[in-house]
Amino acid sequence: MAAKPFHLAWFLQGSSIQAWGEQWSGNISEEWMTADMFLDLARSIERAGFDYLLLEDSIYIGQNWQNSRDMFLKNGMSVPRQEPSVIASLMCAATSRLGIVPTLSTFAYHPYLTARIVGTLDQVSSGRAGWNMVTGSSDLAAQNFGLDALPEHDKRYEMAAEYIDVVTKLWGSWEPGAIIADRKTGVLTDPSKVHTIDHRGEYYASRGPLNSGPCPQGRPVIAQAGGSPKGRAIAAQYADTIVASPKGVEAMKEYRNDVRARMAAFGRDPDSCKVLFLASPILANTDEEAQARAAKRSQASTEEVNRRLAQLGWITNIDFSGHDLDAPIEELTTNGHQSSLATFMKKAGGKTLREGIIAYTSHGASIDFVGCPETVAAQMDEAMQEVGGDGFLLVLPNVSRKTVCEVTDGLVPALQQRGLVRSAYTHKHFRDNLLEF
Ligand SMILES: Cc1cc2nc3c(=O)[nH]c(=O)nc-3n(C[C@H](O)[C@H](O)[C@H](O)COP(=O)(O)O)c2cc1C
C-alpha cells in the first residue's frame, strides 16, 4: 500500500543573529539586518516542497533572569528581533509557492490592522498568506503597549475568539467578484458587494469594510498553537493548521484525536485542519555521528543551564535565577504558557532543576529524531503512522545555511523517496496545498 503523505512546515524562531557565535553561521553578526539568511531559508524550503514557514514572534526583551535584560542581550536570546510582517513581505517576494505565516498577537495589533496586514500579504503573495494567532503571554510585552499586565490566561482566549471573529468578518467584507474593472462603464468596484461589518462586541469594535480589498484566498490561513483546554478549543473552532508540541507519540496521538473530536463537535470536518508536531531532527552523515551530536545536547555547563532556564522563564514569566539548581523542583504556576510549564514539570518530575531543564531542552520537541537522513525518514514515517497524520513543524536550535541544507537536501529527498512528502506543489494557493492530503 502506498504511504500516506504528510506535511512539512518550518518554525522560524527569532532573528538570524541568534546563530551568531555558532559554527557555520557565516558573517551573520554583520548581515542579520537584511534578513538574507532567512530569505535563503524560505527559498530552500520552498524548493523542498514545504507547506509553510511560520515566523514566531514576541514583542519585548526578556527580563526573566535576575530581573535584568543582561542575559538576553548579551546572548542574543530572542533579541534583536524584527517586525514579522515586514520580514514576511520580503519572504513573499522571495518565493512563489510557499505559505508565509507571521505571528501577530491579539493584544498588540487591533483586529482591523491584523486583517489588513495579512490580507495585503495574501494579495502580494497571490494567495499564500497565513496568520499565527497568539494571545501573547508576558506582562513585559503588555507594558510596551501601555497596559500594566495581560488579561488572565483563559480570558485571553475568550477575547481571542471575538478577535478572530472580527478579523474573519473583515476579510469577508468584500464579496467575491466585487472588483469588476469594467472599462466600458468606468466602474472599478461594485459598491453593492462591499459591506461594513459594524461589529460592537464585548472586547472589540470595528466598522469596516476593509479598505485593502479582497483576499485571493478569501480567508487567509489561520494557525494556532494552544495546548491548554481553552487553547485547544479555540484551535478546533477556527484554525486551518495547529502547531503543537506534546511529548511522545502517545501524547501526540491524544492531542490530535482530541482536537479532531472538538472540531467535529463544532460541526467542522476534522480533515480541514492539519495538526503539525514540533520536531527538531538531529541529522548527520551517519547514525553514529548523529548520536554523538545528540549526546552533546544533553551536556550543559552551568552557564548553558542558566541560559536554558532563562529561556523557559521567558515563556512562563518565572525568574529561575534564585532557585537552587541542584535542589528538587517545587510546584510552579504561570499566567504564561501553561502547557509548556506542565510539560516541563512532567519531564522534570523527581529531578533537580539542573537535570530537569537538561531533560526538557535536550528533547524540546514532540519527539526525538536522530540519525542519517534515511534513518530519520524511517523514524518520521513510523511516528506519523502511529499518530495518524498530519505532519511536522521543523525547528532547528540555530538556523544556518548548513543545517538548513541537511534538511532540504538530505532529509527531504529521503522522505520523498518513501513517498512521504510532496515532490512538487499542486496548487497555487496555500490552503489548497495544505488540504491536498
Ligand atoms: C509551535 C509553537 C509555536 C508558538 N509560537 C508562538 C509565537 O510565535 N508567539 C507567541 O507569543 N506564542 C507562541 N506560542 C505559544 C502559544 O501561542 C501558546 O501560548 C502556548 O502553546 C501555550 O498554550 P496554552 O497556554 O494554551 O497551554 C507557540 C507555541 C507552539 C507550541
Checking if the pLDDT of 363 tops 70, the result is no
| Dist. CA 217–CA 235, nearest whole Å | 20
Indicate whether 129 belongs to any domain.
Answer: yes
Strands 199-200 and 205-206: antiparallel
Distance 117 CA to ligand 1 centre (A): 21
Q: Do 267 and 307 reside in the same domain of the chain? A: no
Residue 386: closest CA among 1, 6, 2, 9: 6
User: Rounded to the nearest 10 degrees, what angle do helices 338-348 and 302-316 cross at?
Assistant: 140
| Dist. CA 370–CA 281, nearest whole Å | 6
Distance 8 CA to ligand 1 centre (A): 18
Mutation pick for ligand 1 pocket among 15, 55, 87, 103 (CB with most ligand atoms within 8 Å): 103
Lowest mean pLDDT among 30-34, 376-380, 390-394: 30-34
Residues within 6 Å of ligand 1 by CB? 11, 56-58, 103, 105, 132, 134, 136-137, 153, 225-228, 231, 243-245, 278, 337-340, 393
Q: Do 390 and 354 reside in the same domain of the chain? A: no
The backbone torsions φ and ψ at residue 298, rounded to the nearest 5 degrees and listed phi first, read -85, -5
Mutation pick for ligand 1 pocket among 337, 344, 366, 394 (CB with most ligand atoms within 8 Å): 337
- Using H for helix, E for strand and C for coil, what is the string for 87-121? HHHHHHHHCCCCEEEEEEECCCCCHHHHHHHHHHH
Last residue of a domain, one of 344, 362, 380: 362
Distance 337 CA to ligand 1 centre (A): 7
Specify the DSSP class assigned to residue 68.
Answer: B
Indicate whether 238 belongs to any domain.
Answer: yes
> How confident is residue 297, by pLDDT bands cut at 50, 70 and 90?
confident
| Dist. CA 157–CA 107, nearest whole Å | 11
Pairwise pLDDT comparison (334 vs 93), residue with the higher score: 93
Checking if the pLDDT of 45 tops 90, the result is yes
Pair 357, 299: CB distance under 8 Å = no
Indicate whether 323 belongs to any domain.
Answer: yes
Indicate whether 84 belongs to any domain.
Answer: yes
* Protein residue with least CA distance to atom 30, ligand 1: 225
Q: Do 89 and 196 reside in the same domain of the chain? A: yes
Mutation pick for ligand 1 pocket among 11, 55, 56, 312 (CB with most ligand atoms within 8 Å): 56
Last residue of a domain, one of 304, 327, 362: 362
**Per-residue pLDDT reduced to its tens digit, 178-222:** 999 999 999 999 999 999 999 999 999 999 999 999 999 999 999
* Protein residue with least CA distance to atom 6, ligand 1: 56
Checking if the pLDDT of 369 tops 80, the result is yes
Indicate whether 35 belongs to any domain.
Answer: yes
Pair 366, 278: CB distance under 8 Å = yes
Q: Do 211 and 85 reside in the same domain of the chain? A: yes
> How confident is residue 1, by pLDDT bands cut at 50, 70 and 90?
very low
* Protein residue with least CA distance to atom 9, ligand 1: 57
pLDDT at site 167: 98
Indicate whether 1 belongs to any domain.
Answer: no
* Protein residue with least CA distance to atom 8, ligand 1: 56
**Per-residue pLDDT reduced to its tens digit, 130-178:** 999 999 989 999 999 999 999 999 999 999 999 999 999 999 999 999 9
> Which atom of ligand 1 is the closest one to the Cα of 232?
26
Q: Which domain CATH number covers 44?
A: 3.20.20.30
Last residue of a domain, one of 362, 377, 394: 362
| Single pTM value for the model | 0.95
Full residue range of the structural domain in which residue 296 is found: 290-362
Length of the chain in terms of residues written: 437
Pair 209, 197: CB distance under 8 Å = yes
Across the range 375-380, mean pLDDT stands at: 98
Contacts with 257 (C-beta within 8 Å, 6 or more apart), sequence order: 388
Mutation pick for ligand 1 pocket among 114, 137, 317, 334 (CB with most ligand atoms within 8 Å): 137
* Protein residue with least CA distance to atom 11, ligand 1: 136
| Dist. CA 120–CA 100, nearest whole Å | 12
Q: Which residue has the cell 497568539?
A: 134
Q: Do 116 and 147 reside in the same domain of the chain? A: yes
The number of distinct structural domains making up the chain is 2
Q: Do 337 and 209 reside in the same domain of the chain? A: no
Checking if the pLDDT of 349 tops 90, the result is no
Contacts with 181 (C-beta within 8 Å, 6 or more apart), sequence order: 188
Q: Do 199 and 320 reside in the same domain of the chain? A: no
* Protein residue with least CA distance to atom 13, ligand 1: 134
* Protein residue with least CA distance to atom 4, ligand 1: 225
Checking if the pLDDT of 266 tops 80, the result is yes
> Which atom of ligand 1 is the closest one to the Cα of 133?
17
| Dist. CA 335–CA 105, nearest whole Å | 16
Q: Do 348 and 371 reside in the same domain of the chain? A: no
pLDDT at site 315: 85
Q: Do 169 and 262 reside in the same domain of the chain? A: yes
Q: Do 320 and 391 reside in the same domain of the chain? A: no
Q: Do 186 and 307 reside in the same domain of the chain? A: no
Q: Do 320 and 216 reside in the same domain of the chain? A: no
3-state class (DSSP) for residue 133 = strand
Indicate whether 2 belongs to any domain.
Answer: no
Distance 108 CA to ligand 1 centre (A): 15
